[in-house]
Amino acid sequence: MQRYTGNGSFDVVVIGGGITGAAVAYEAASRGLRVALFEKGDFAEATSAASSKLIHGGLRYLAHHEFRLVRESLRERRTLENIAPNFVYPLAFLLPHYRGSITTSRGFVKLGLTLYDLLAFDKGRTWEAAKRIPGHQSLSAREALARQPRLNPAGLTGASLFYDCLSIAPERLALAFVKSAVHHGARVANYARVAGFLCAHGRSAVQGVKVHDRIDRQTYTVRAAVTINCAGPWADSVLALAPGQTGGDHLRRSEGIHIITRPIISPDSAVSAMTAGGRHCFLIPWRAHTLIGTTDKAYQGHPDDYRVSRTSIQELLDTVNATFASLNLTWNDVRHTYGGLRPLVERQTAETYKASRQYEIRDHRQDGHPGLLTVEGGKWTTSRHLAEKLVDRLARTSALAPGRSISAHRYLRGCAIRDMQIHIRRITERHPDFDAQTIDTLGRLYGTDCEAVLDLARRDHTLAARLNHEGELPAQAVYAVRHEMARNLLDIVLRRSGIATIGNPGAAILNQVAAAVAPELGWDSGQIAAEVQTAMDFLSLPAL
């Protein structure tokens, strides 16, 4: 991929390079429209990266009678299994039942899971047989404890076992949407901030954007028939750039944080349980660690100022310790933490936990700004379908004439893998000089592009040194700069690879990665030191 710079004219400009903007750019470009996408930071660096690593139907939404959203999510769960098979995998969830609780009782949960299975009636229609999700089943209390001893045994009457999906690398899955958009002709740029809207003289019709490129420090004029605001928690800030606007009043922001610890549960299933406060929390086996989440607390303030706080981490630790038996997790058990802000639509409910994850598409012609649309709300799982509906809307309400949608029926770029086991076996046979763990990790993270990364490592032995227990290599960093628009060390270790996504890998490894890309980016020793220090600071746990 090459960063787009300069003035230009397009059918559609997309503001925001998270999963929503990436999906919209791919959908529009794959349907024949001329598309440009601008992201003020790095692709998927904020809300999209701060996910629970799940592609799921939203079982808890059934309690709020959001049947249409659950059905859409379950259908899209299957779609993402199909079009991104190297990223999305079925994951078992254990949901315990307790005496004296209606919401966790066997009968209540069975009713919900039966409906969940019915709404997922097409879950078996996956392109790969291994991705087919079975129906739920019931376990006795003894069977549940044998499977996950961390369950609280007090009052336990049994458990239900059901399936959703795990996304092994959300940042790279979002990047696959960006790459797919580029494959179909979209022009994209990270570190390119939209600084204003272009409006007709004396009118408020939006005809494109002014873009400040943070790399070359130039400002460009980019015209478009339609401008789509996909800035997530920043959507109101973007709207404030329009003439006569001060931002929106529909959007609220909810903080969700996660922590990563040593492995504390059995790796064959996740565990979801109801807290004393009536919310769900979960323990997910992830990359030989345990991912713990999540919070859902209203956030006040500008999203640029958001940081995970020590208080939020302690609140999550206290919640999971009270919910699961014998955890006794302390601050010293936290190996990594991350958080983000979820955009919620204001009028849906007063409390963020109960707020719908449904999305809205706002047409600002009613506000006096024809040519401008904003996407509000939404969730990872339904992003592709949101994009499809938005482009369908353009066909009805604008002069644009997009073709038929193909995104549910085509592999994402780099993901054309019919059978993952055969894919990994073929790479192993062609590259016997690399260990099995490296091939398995890279084969999943890079899909059909994996061999290009291995070829870099083979040509330069310094790029072939294992960096972690999963066998990641410095070659990934060079590939990220040359082919994936990585611009700094954090881009590489957090969003193009998994080198730092389970915690700070330490100054030695960060220096090794920075040295590998220094010739590519023109870094001298001073810049290497600065990049490493920035990464060390970012990856440090919050201070008191």
Establish how many alpha carbons lie within 13 A of residue 277's alpha carbon, considering only the half-sphere containing its beta carbon.
14
**pLDDT at 277 exceeding the cut of 90:** no
Q: DSSP string covering 81-100, please?
A: HHH-TTTEEEEEEEEEEETT
- The per-residue pLDDT for 359 is 84
**pLDDT at 65 exceeding the cut of 50:** yes
- The per-residue pLDDT for 244 is 76
**pLDDT at 392 exceeding the cut of 80:** yes
Alpha helices per DSSP H over 497-542: 507-521, 525-539
- Asked whether the whole model's pTM tops 0.85, one would answer yes
**pLDDT at 347 exceeding the cut of 70:** no
Coil vs helix vs strand at 163:
strand
For residues 103 and 272, the answer to whether their CB atoms sit within 8 Å is no
**pLDDT at 250 exceeding the cut of 70:** no
**pLDDT at 529 exceeding the cut of 70:** yes
The continuous run of DSSP H or E covering 458 comes out as: helix 450-459
Residues paired with residue 138 on neighbouring β-strands, in sequence order: 160
Coil vs helix vs strand at 328:
coil
CA nearest to 487, candidates 531, 533, 453, 429 = 531
Mean pLDDT, range 503-510, rounded to an integer: 97
Domains of the chain, each with CATH number or no CATH: 88-167+252-348 (3.30.9.10), 420-539 (1.10.8.870)
Confidence of residue 349 (pLDDT cuts 50, 70, 90): very low
Q: Would residue 531 be called left, alpha or beta, if left means φ above 0 and alpha means ψ between -120 and 50 degrees?
A: alpha
Coil vs helix vs strand at 246:
coil
Confidence of residue 495 (pLDDT cuts 50, 70, 90): very high
Mean pLDDT, range 309-326, rounded to an integer: 92
For residues 347 and 356, the answer to whether their CB atoms sit within 8 Å is no
**pLDDT at 71 exceeding the cut of 80:** yes
Poorest-pLDDT segment among 199-203, 360-364, 385-389: 199-203
Residue 377, judged by CB atoms within 10 A of its CB (0-12, 13-18, 19+), counts as buried
Residues paired with residue 257 on neighbouring β-strands, in sequence order: 339
- The per-residue pLDDT for 276 is 79
Q: Which residues contact 406 (CB under 8 A, 6 or more apart)?
A: 30, 31
Query: Per-residue b/e over 98-135, b at no fewer than 16 CB within 10 Å?
Result: beeeeebbbeebeebbeebbebbeebeebeeeebebee
Q: CA 455 → CA 183, 451, 472, 484, 520, distances in Å? A: 22, 6, 14, 16, 17
- The per-residue pLDDT for 231 is 97
**pLDDT at 151 exceeding the cut of 60:** yes
**pLDDT at 505 exceeding the cut of 50:** yes
Dist CA 527 CA 521 (whole Å): 10
Poorest-pLDDT segment among 301-310, 349-358, 471-480: 349-358
Dist CA 526 CA 523 (whole Å): 8
Mean pLDDT, range 441-445, rounded to an integer: 98
- The per-residue pLDDT for 480 is 98
Dist CA 3 CA 188 (whole Å): 6
For residues 230 and 387, the answer to whether their CB atoms sit within 8 Å is no
* pLDDT tens digits for range 161-184: 999 999 999 999 999 999 999 999
- The per-residue pLDDT for 354 is 47
**pLDDT at 46 exceeding the cut of 70:** yes
- The per-residue pLDDT for 247 is 57
Dist CA 180 CA 412 (whole Å): 6
Dist CA 483 CA 83 (whole Å): 21
- Could you report how far apart the first and last alpha carbons of the chain are, in Å? 41
Q: How far is CA 374 from the centre of its chain?
A: 20
**pLDDT at 504 exceeding the cut of 80:** yes
